[in-house]
Amino acid sequence: MRLILVRHGETAYNRDGLGLGRADPPLTDLGLRQTASAVEQLAAEPPDRILTSPLGRAAAIGRGLAERTGAPLDVREELTEMDVGETEGLPFAEMRERFPGFLDRWRAPDPADVAMPGGESLAQVAARLEPLVAELHAFPDDASVVAVSHNFVLRLLVCRLLGLDIAAFRAFSLDLASVSTLSLRGGQASLRTLNDRCHLAGDSAPSA
């Protein structure tokens, strides 16, 4: 099975380096262009099914691709971004001032069980992805599925599919509107492409 993972386009929170989880700010002009470019790229090989986070910044790609290709679209709550709790909308400097103890624990070698202040931990996000992982492995070998989601969720999904520890999420980045591809067969996964941004041309942006 071919699994295509797509991160949403830019919002003002991403542009300004603010904490972003369950909030749903609109896409910026750049984010709208990134969304259109991602849809154009993905439509070249229409998927059999599209899964998307319910948050608008991700669903814009999922819905655009469904309209373009006619592929069925499933809105999946488990693809919602990590709940970042009280850090939502905060710049890093203010986050560091308000939650110094949390940041010290977050920077530890294994932050899996460190919960965001008032929010989720990486381990909790990984746990809610488990049923989806099983579902993905159950697709026919010739199927093609697109999943549109968010930074933490997608990196944890990659780690889970590849059998990596949660702490390995720090070993790679997934930039805004990037596309990554995995092959799933016989309960195993292999990484084919990671953080592909070629479709964005000049419409790239930092990955915050």
**8 noted as active-site residue:** yes
- Residue among 8, 10, 78, 150 flagged as catalytic: 8
- Residue among 10, 78, 81, 120 flagged as catalytic: 81
Asked whether the CA dihedral 143, 149, 24, 207 is positive or negative, the reply is negative
Residue 153 near residue 80 (C-beta atoms within 8 A): yes
As a whole number of angstroms, the distance between CA 106 and CA 29 comes to 32
As a whole number of angstroms, the distance between CA 186 and CA 88 comes to 39
| 3-state class (DSSP) for residue 27 | strand
Dump strand ranges (E) for the chain.
2-7, 49-52, 73-75, 144-149, 179-185, 188-196
> Cα dist. 48→1, 69, 180 in Å?
11, 9, 17
Distance of CA 180 to the CA centre of its chain: 10
**150 noted as active-site residue:** no
Closest CA to 121 of 108, 132, 133: 108
Q: Indicate which residues carry an active-site annotation.
A: 8, 81
